[in-house]
Structure formats: structure tokens, C-alpha cells
Structure 1
Amino acid sequence: MAHEVQNFNLDQKFDFTAGIKKSIMTVLLIGAALLVVGIVLAMMGGGHAEEGAEAGGHAFHWYQRLFANIWINNVYFTGIAIVGVFFFAIQYAAQAGWSAPITRVMLAFGNWLPIAAILMIASFFVMGHDLFHWWHAELFDKASSEYDAIIDGKGAFFYWPMEKGTFPVFYIARMIIFFGFWVFFFTKFKKIAAAEDQLGGTSHWFKMRSWSAYFLVFFAVSSSISAWDWVMSIDTHWFSTLFGWYVFSSWFVAGLSAITLTVIFLKGKGYLEMVNENHVHDLGKFVFGFSIFWTYLWFSQFLLIYYANIPEESVYFIERLKSDVYGGFIFVNIGMNFVLPFLVLMTRDAKRHGIFLKLVCTLLIVGHWVDFFLMVQPGTLGHNGGIGFMEIGTFLVYGSAVALVVLGGLAKGNLIPKNHPMLEESYHHHI
């Protein structure tokens, strides 16, 4: 039976051709052009004072919109990158056999993490004061008219051990620790994978399994806290006890969609011949299932807040639903991330055909970006937000940069883990 697997080229490497690079670079340049147009338009129309904006009646500047966009994309694409590593680790921890030939595709998404870390930490230093209301010293000064007892009560979570309103040491330390460990685990997985390709045997599979278990424990904690830090703390008064789960589910669906699109793309180029429609079906089931999981969390959060009708909780949804700027996007969010995937992927055949999955996964990647847009913009920009050239441009620039980094990383190593002990099982995978 082992000879059947040997019929495939297991030393296959992805050739990141000039043609593919050129296509991605074209998208990047279109995105950059749209971004420039968006910035110019914002500069011409910006600078006016906005009543009721979170800035507390201060003048609104065009660059605040750019900052919000950079933050949305930082958080969103960091999530897609770490979900690649998370899904990889799940395969080993669960001793999954079906996914053996596509594990390297999952792991390749982690190549964005070191860049994401630099972008995230640097942009927090540059833009944090404009994005995060809690980074305003007067909120913690009892003598100030701006004093806010609720934010003062949460101050230690950002500033410990420093004085509240000075420098958020604890917050930045968490960001550095999370990225540091994520990059450490990703590098560790890459090293073990390379050793397995060269040396064979099962010892590397067992080692990967142990390290995956450690990573999953750390990821469980860090993914939730990073969601509170990077997204929920924008609306400092408001909180939701399932917000960590909610952000994870949005990241996970987007990450699964990106992995599925990459596998279908590679299949289309003649790679991964061992991967058949049964493997694609499994990816389709994950995308379908976790789209429903995301909807369940969205609805749970919304329904409990709606039913309890406590002002400090309901304000989060009221300022989005009643807004001329964001109200419509709530329905776009549910339509793109639940209704369409649910209807399109419901049948068995739809999950086995690349054309349906390409459509749904592309919609989901855009749809979950809209989800993060709705989480970040209302709290940072008030009524000055929206989706225009700047938003589309930033999304395309980030998306194509991630594609270049991920595919570039994928091209550096073996595409198939040729000494994976479950490769034979995957070859006979049938559902």
C-alpha cells in the first residue's frame, strides 16, 4: 500500500512564479492607488468638528480614519495568520490523518506573524492615542471635567505598574508576549517539520504533537485577551463576556477560508495531486460549520444584550444599528457571513466543487473584514467612518502583502510532509 503514495511526487515544491507575483503586485498597486485617492479625498473633506464623535467634541482629522483602517487590517490579518498556525496545531493534537498533505499550507500563514508583530507594535505607538479613548490622561484625573470613573476603574489593566494615564506598560507587555510566543511556536513548528522531511521516522510527529498541545493552551488564553486588548478596549465602557470567543470565531472562519482558497489555487496549478474532492469537502464542512458557529456567537451576544436592555450594554448595538453610517453594514455582515455561506454550502456537492468554495471563501474573507470594520470604526471615528476608497485600498494592500509573504514562505520548503506517518491514511481518505 505504501507504494501507492510513492506514485505521487512527494518532493514537490511550490514554484512562486513571476506571473503569480505580478498578479499579486498588480492588486497591491491598485490598492495603493485607491488608498492615495481615499487619503486625498479625506484631506479635502476632513478637518471638521464632529458632534457626538468619541473624540469628545474635538476636531476630526483625516489621518484618524487612516489610523482606524490600519488598525482594522492589522488585527484582521494577524488573526488569519495565527489561525493558520492554530489549525495546523489542531491537526497534530487531534492526531488527524485526513489533513496530512495540506498541513504545510496551514503553517505557511504563520509567515505573516513576525511582520504583523512589527506593524502592530509600531502602529500602537504611533496611533494608540488617537484610537484608544483610555489613553487620555485627563480621564484618570479626579480634578478634571473629563474624569471617568468607569475607565479609571479599568485603568490598572492597561497601565500597571505605572500610574494610570501615563504609559500603558501592562498593555504593551501583553502585546509583545503574545506575538513573541506566537512567533516562537511558529518557528518551532517549522524547524520540526524541516527535520521530519530530512530524517523521517515518527519521533518528529510525536514532538510536533507535544508542542502543538502547549501552543493550543497558550493560544486559548492569548487569543481571548488580545481580543479584549486590541478590539474591545476601543469601546472602554462596554464589555461582553463572550467577546474573546466572538473575535476568535471571526478570525477562524476567515483563516479557514484563506486556507481553502490556497489549497484550491494550488490544486488548480497542478500541485497537491494527492488532495482529492474528499479533502476539499472536509475543508468546505469546516467553513460551513464555523460560519454557523460565528452566527451563533453573534446572535447570543446580541440577544442577551437586547433582552436584558441594560443601558451600558445596549449602547454598543444602538450606536451601530441607529447609525446612518453603520446601520446597513450590520445586515451586510449577517448576509455575507451567515446567509450566503449557509445557503450556498448546504449541499454535499457544493462543498466538493471548487467554484462554490472559491465564491463563498472570497465572500467570507471580505465579510469578516466587514465584521472587524464594525467592531473598530464606530468607537474610533464616531460618525466620520464608512467604507470608501481608503478602506478598500488598505484592505487590498494588506491582503496582497499577506499573499506575497505566505506564498513566498510556502515556496521555501516542501509542499507535502513526505515523512508524515499518516500520509497513507490521507491518500485513502473518503467521505
Structure 2
Amino acid sequence: MYTFSNRLKIGSIILMAIGLLGIGIGFVAVPSTVAEAKAMVASHDDGHGDSHAADAEHAVAADHGATEDHGASHDEHLLHQLQNRPWAALYVAAFFFFMIALGVLAFYGIQRAAQAGWSPLLFRVMEGITAYIVPGGIIVFGILLLSTLHLNHLFTWMDADVVAHDELLQNKAGYLNTTFFLIRAAVFLGGWILYREISRKLSIAQDESNDDSNFKKNFRWSVGFLVFYLISESIMSWDWIMSVDPHWFSTLFGWYVFASMIVSGVTVIAMVTIYLKSKGYLPDVNDSHIHDLAKFMFGFSIFWTYLWFAQFMLIWYANIPEEVTYFVTRIEDYNLPFFGMVVMNFVFPILLLMNSDYKRVNWFVIMAGIVILAGHYLDVFNMIMPATVGDQWYIGLPEIGAVLFFSGAFLFWVFRALSNAPLQPTRNPFIEESRHFHY
């Protein structure tokens, strides 16, 4: 049995405490009036507020697809952007860590449905990581609920005044309305959590069973979950991320978010496995298991890059105004994080994990994993921030505080879950194949 060490427990609590402090300062520091917002921008940009006024005016037209008569004035829009910043930073970090747990759940479901022989030794690691789906999902749902109550301006389509002056949003009102939005979110979260809890219970029950009935039930639940997941993940990505840019859409977006989700999840599986092995646990997990996890890290990084390029190239080449504005905003105002994440999510994995031998070197896999996770945090950052904060972004206390808080919460919940059951299944029909797996 794994024991949740006091050092790791205290460290995770300290991360949460420091993170909460940073988040709190971020919320306290937001301006409450237009005058305060203009003064903040002027001080931050050394008095170049006029240029940002023009940029903000352009952002209003881009975000709302409207003329000057539509939507809020430039000054109100600037105020909303600055007020959005701590909310957006919180949402980016909350979604990123929830996305990791959901990506692990999808990978776990695939292994169960495929009846893979190499991975059963890693099932308890995956089950521990997916435990975060419950608190992480509740926090994300809470942010969405607060958005529908108009405590922030993350989703412009939730503002009745904006919709009243926007014909396109009026046409989408049958789908983009707060009641249906929350119902969809509750159904998705309920389905994901239900599968996780049932599969975990069946997995533990299998160890105490004299036959394979629980294993077979888990197989059937996993097949059903994957069908549900493929549909719900796509709709979730439209609802929770793409709708912050309600005038823009991409038919690839669900797959794009899935790629980011799955590569982040597999990366965390590899990093947690290596950590547990370094502490003397998982003795039967060998270099071939780590090698296969690193192969998935490499392969899904290439898959993510393919989808990123396909989405970017086609939209940029077509140069349709209502589509290309999504990338224009990110290239003009988010140049470094936008192209930086491509380097971190594609170039680094290529350089670090191309060689088969390097996939067996634990510290090399950890180093690659840190870069990949940072790159996919930037990916979520680039998906959310331009539509909610515009050009009024920078990495400060709200962003750092949110990452620290959710890092601590993730570590605390995952490693507590890992200590609740033996780390190695004993009655899985493929456990011997997994134990003797060699690539």
C-alpha cells in the first residue's frame, strides 16, 4: 500500500495556501470603475493608453462582430477585460487540471475497452489521477454557474444587452442559453464521474473475486463510456471553451481539445509512475512500460500538432474575416505564448522523445513531461484569454496563484486517492502479461 507522505501532503497544502493568496490579491486588485481601469492601463503601459484604446475598440468589433453601435463602449469593454483577468486566470488553471484527469479517464477507458495486456499494472495509477475529476469538475461547474449569474464577463453571449444587439447570437440562442448550458454541463460531469466511480469499484472488487465477472462488467462500462465521452467531450469543448468566442467556430475544435487533453493525461501518468517507482513502489513496472507511455506522449504530441496546423493553415489560407480574426488576435496580441506553445508541444517532444533509448530514461521523460504540460497550459491560456481579457494580459499573481492552487489541490487529491487501495491489481486476467511486458 502506498502511504501519502507528510512532506508531500504539507507541500500540496502550502501550494494551495500560496495560490489562494495570489488569487485573492488578483481579485482585490481589479478596478471597479472606468476611471480606475484607464489609470491602471496607463500606469502599466507607461502612459500609452491611447494605443490600447484603439486596440480595445478593435477587440470589441472582433469579439462581437458588430459595428460601433453594438455592444458596450470601449471604456466599458476595457473595464470588463480587466475585471475578467482573475476570473480567466482561475478558469484556465481549473480547466487545465480537470482536463488532465479527464484525459487520463479517456486513456484508461481505452485500455479497458481494448483489453490491453501491457497496461494493467498502471491501472491504479490512472484510477488515482482520475479521482480529481470529482473536485475538479465541481470547481469548473462552479465557475460556469457563477458566469451564468453574471459575476463575470467570460461568456459574452450570457449578457442580454449584447445579445439584444447581435443578430448572430440571437440565432444561436436556442443552443447558447444559460439553462441548457448548465444542463449539458451537469449531464457531462455526471456521466464522467459515474463511469469513474463504477469502474474504480469494479476494479477493486475484481481483486477479491474468484472469477472475471467484474472485469467483464468493467469492459462493458468502458465501451459505453467511450461512446458517451466522444460525444460529450466535443460538445463540452464547444460550450466551455469555443463559446467564449461566440462568433467563431471550428469543426476540428473538439478533436483539438481532445489531443491536448490526452497528451497531458498520458504525460501525468508517466510522471506519477516514475515518482512512485523512485519511492520503491510499483516494482513490476519496468522500462518497457515507461517506454510505451513516452511513445504515447510523443505520438499524441504529433497528433496535436497535426490538428493545430490543419486548423490554423486552412483558416489562414481561406482568409474569411469571421474565421481568421481568431488567429489575427492571437498573433497580434499573444505572439509569444501562441507560437511558444507550438515549440513546447511539438519541437521539444520531437527533440527529446524521438530516440527510442531516451524514452527509457526516467529523468529525460520527466523533463519532457514538464515542458509538455507547460506547453498545454499555454494552449488553454491561448484558447481562453484573448476572448476574455484581450490585450490586457500578462503573467502575474492571478495566473501564478491559480496554477499553484490547482497544482496543490491536484497533488493532494491524487496522492490521497493512491493511498486508498493497493497500487497493483492482483486478479486482472492480463496482470501476468503486463508483469512480463517487454518491448
Match of 2:104 in 1: 84
Give 5+ residue unaligned stretches, structure 2: 42-52, 61-70
Aligned twin of 1:136: 159
What is the match of residue 84 of structure 2?
64
| 8 A Cα contact 1:65 1:381, kept in partner | yes
Q: 2:118 aligns with which of 81, 90, 98?
A: 98
Identify the residue that residue 413 of structure 2 maps to in structure 1.
405
CA distance in 2, matches of 1:288, 1:354: 15
Moved more, 56-65 or 92-101: 56-65
> 1:25: how far off?
2.5
In the alignment, does 2:174 pair up with 1:156?
yes
Residue aligned with 1:371, SS: helix
1:200/1:259 Cα in 2 relative to 1: closer, same or farther (>3 Å)? farther
Q: In the alignment, what sits opposite 1:289?
A: 299
Distance in 2 separating the partners of 1:183 and 1:172: 16
- Percent of pairs identical after alignment? 38
1:351 and 2:359 correspond:
yes
Alignment match of 2:17 (pick from 29, 33, 44): 29
Q: Partner letter of residue 211 of structure 1?
A: W
Distance change >3 Å, CA 200–CA 63, structure 1 → 2: farther
1:204 aligned partner, one-letter code: N
Q: How far, CA to CA, are the matches of 1:184 and 1:288 in structure 2?
A: 30
1:221: which partner in 2? 231
Question: Do the aligned residues in 2 keep the contact of 1:97 with 1:423 (CA within 8 Å)?
Answer: yes
The answer (yes or no) to whether the contact 1:320–1:327 under 8 Å persists in 2 is yes
Match of 1:5 in 2: none
Query: Are the equivalent residues in 1 in contact too, given 2:248–2:326 (CA < 8 A)?
Result: yes
1:119-156 deviations in Å (ceiling 9; x for gaps): 12221222344100101112343xxxxx1111111111
What SS does structure 1 have at the residue aligned with 2:156? coil
1:308-366: CA deviation from partner (whole Å, max 9, x where unpaired): 1111110000011012xx11111211111111111011101110011111011111111
Equivalent position of 2:47 in the other structure: none
Pair 1:387-2:395 in alignment = yes
Count, aligned residues: 404
**Partner-residue secondary structure (3-state), 1:363:** helix
Partner AA of 1:24 in structure 2? S
Residue 125 of structure 1 is matched in structure 2 by: 145
CA distance in 1, matches of 2:418, 2:147: 32
**Corresponding residue number in structure 2 for 1:8:** none
**Residue 212 (structure 2) pairs with residue 202 (structure 1):** yes
Amino acid of the structure 2 residue aligned with 1:292: I
* Corresponding letter in the other structure for 1:154: K
Is 1:211 the counterpart of 2:221? The answer is: yes
CA distance in 2, matches of 1:200, 1:391: 51
Tell me which residue corresponds to 2:262: 252
Post-superposition shift, 1:37?
5.1
Cα distance in 1, alignment partners of residues 85 and 403 from structure 2: 14
Distance in 2, Cα, partners of 1:40 & 1:67 = 12
What is the CA-CA distance between 1:40 and the residue it aligns to?
A: 5.6
Q: Distance in 2 between matches of 1:178 and 1:21?
A: 31
Runs of 4+ in 1 over 6 A off after TM superposition: none
Match of 2:189 in 1: 179
Q: TM-score when scaled to structure 2?
A: 0.88
| CA distance 1:312–1:185, change in 2 (3 Å) | same
Native 8 Å contact 1:75 1:230 kept in 2: no
Corresponding position of 1:261:
271
Partner AA of 1:27 in structure 2: L
3-state SS of 1:158 partner: coil
Give yes or no for contact 1:82–1:109 (8 Å, CA) kept in 2: no
2:385 aligned partner: 377
- The one-letter code sitting in structure 1 at the alignment partner of 2:99 is G
Q: Which amino acid aligns with 1:112?
A: Y
Contact 1:31–1:394 (CA<8 Å) still a contact in 2? yes
Report the Cα distance in structure 2 between the residues aligned to 1:71 and 1:322, rounded to whole angstroms. Answer: 23
Residue 47 (1) aligns with residue 32 (2) = no
The more displaced of 327-336 and 294-303 is 327-336
- 2:310 is matched with which residue? 300
1:332 aligns with 2:340: yes
Comparing 420-429 with 120-129, greater Cα deviation is found at 120-129
Secondary structure of 2:429's aligned partner = coil
Q: Tell me how far apart the structure 2 counterparts of residues 355 and 221 of structure 1 sit (CA, whole Å).
A: 37
**What is the TM-score with the length of structure 1 in the denominator?**
0.90
